[in-house]
Amino acid sequence: MELLDGKLASAKLKDQIKIEVDEWVSSGEKKPHLAAILVGEDGASKTYVESKVRSCNEVGFNSTLIKLSETASEDEVIQAIEQLNNDDDIDGFIVQLPLPRHIDEAKVTTLIDPKKDVDGFHPVNVGRMTLGQPAYISATPFGITQMLEMYDVDTQGKHCVVIGRSNIVGSPMSILMAKNSKYANCTVTLCHSRTQDLKSFCLSADILIVALGKAEFVTADMVKDGAVVIDVGITRVEDKSRPKGYRVTGDVNFEEVSKKCSYITPVPGGVGLMTVASLIKNTLLATKKEIYGV
């Protein structure tokens, strides 16, 4: 078994980005600038945004964080989006999800300028990605595809099973793995909460990508020998033996499943770190106008 180490892979990607940024700025161009809108005090969201700010500093980006209270109105969020859409110094920005229930996430996402939508959630970017046109790809699927490439995982003609059909991970991941490219070209099955006999699909998978949100859902008896397992889930599980009173785990029972795999991502230290690095990569693409042009 080989670990698909997100810490090493994300560090490599950020090193590459920093070299590009240094060359870009040395040629007289502006520093890339990533902004984020954070609504409320969700602990996981705050941690994620802080990680993005740190990554910006590491690669030489400017960063801006707009914090709004949990009770901020939808109009206030829209005003913040319009402000960033119209700010020529901002190359890309995100609205950190999830949002409080009184705010319509779909409406908010659609109001982001597609050219600055470095999270890849806008319908224009989703449509372009689906059609194989240049687009900002949602950061988690983008990170997974880059990790497969970095570790030279053979995907050609393999059966890829994706568990979870969210617009953020599962659905775009299934599309990307079916693309006609070196680290794709899979036959893809997309499974979800209504899939019957899920275990049989999992056992047929050469590549199993799990984005379900249920702690340690996938066990050893669901995975065939030699499979590649990508664990996208991250859940805090109560554990009074730990100093913080909890442990962080994924959707896969790592201890069991890792004994059967050819490759597996850990949680933490796997896909999450590549998600942040991929968002930074998208922002560099936005700065250089490599997706939409001038």
Which residues are identified as catalytic? Answer: 52, 96, 119
Q: Which two tokens stand for residue 229?
A: 């397992």
141's enclosing H/E stretch is: helix 139-150
146 within 8 A of 11, measured Cβ to Cβ: no
Spatial contact of 259 and 1, defined as CB atoms under 8 Å apart: yes
Contact in structure between 271 and 254 (CB atoms under 8 Å): no
List Cα–Cα distances, 183 to 18, 161, 166, in angstroms.
Answer: 25, 15, 22
Q: Please, what's the b/e burial string for 258-274 (b: 16 or more CB within 10 A of its CB; e: otherwise)? A: bebbebbbbbebbbbbb
Contact 136, 292 (CB under 8 A): no
Q: Do the bridges between strand 62-68 and strand 246-249 make them parallel or antiparallel, or are there none, so unpaired? A: unpaired
